[in-house]
Structure 1
Amino acid sequence: MTRPAAASWPAEFEEMIRRQCRLLEPGEPIDPDTSLALLGIDSVQILMLIVEIEETFLVEIPETMLTGEYFATPRSIWSVLESLGVEAEDGEAA
């Protein structure tokens, strides 16, 4: 089984995801394409994650993007943030 390519999002975003993951061991890499449910993130935690994302990255996620499609995996959430102009650590979009 191959390991997924490392995600190119900021450490802040990774930490937010990790705080909500009940099923991820400390130090275990986050597979960007694993469903949030498989990571142990429930609907209440997704709401908490949305609030934290909006406050940290100073964005407002449009209601039209607050769907299971956009909040399915860490990669899909990061794609939402990129579409709202949030950039990766190196100053370039991931």
Structure 2
Amino acid sequence: MSTEKLDTRLEDIVREHCPDLEPHVALDPDDNLADLGLNSVGTIGILVAVEEAFSVSLSDEDMSFETFSSVSSLRRTVLKYLT
């Protein structure tokens, strides 16, 4: 999977679960997802969507606040499983 495709899919997943992120507003990879309305239910939604979209299973170690804090941290985590 190309990194461009990975980034696009991750952004789509994050947009689905961050209710305060308007569709027309640009999403910076380092934006704090909690500031964009991500809550615990949304975090679980992102987890499930990421595991399904990329055919990965995150370890307990990767299920942390840090992993779900931004698109860039999600990207780093997913890349660990894809390489």
User: Structure 2-normalised TM-score?
Assistant: 0.85
Unaligned runs of at least 5 residues, structure 1:
1-7, 87-94
Equivalent-residue separation in structure 2 for 1:15 and 1:77 (angstroms): 12
User: Greater CA radius of gyration, 1 or 2?
Assistant: 1
Q: Which has the higher helix share?
A: 2
Q: Which runs of 4+ in 1 moved over 3 A?
A: none
Task: Give the root-mean-square deviation of aligned CA atoms.
Answer: 1.7
Number of aligned pairs?
Answer: 80
Unaligned runs of at least 5 residues, structure 2:
none
Residue 19 of structure 1 aligns with an amino acid whose one-letter code is E
* Identity of matched residues, %: 29
- Select 1:47's aligned residue among 44, 47, 56: 44
**DSSP-derived class of the 1:37 partner:** helix
Equivalent-residue separation in structure 1 for 2:8 and 2:67 (angstroms): 20
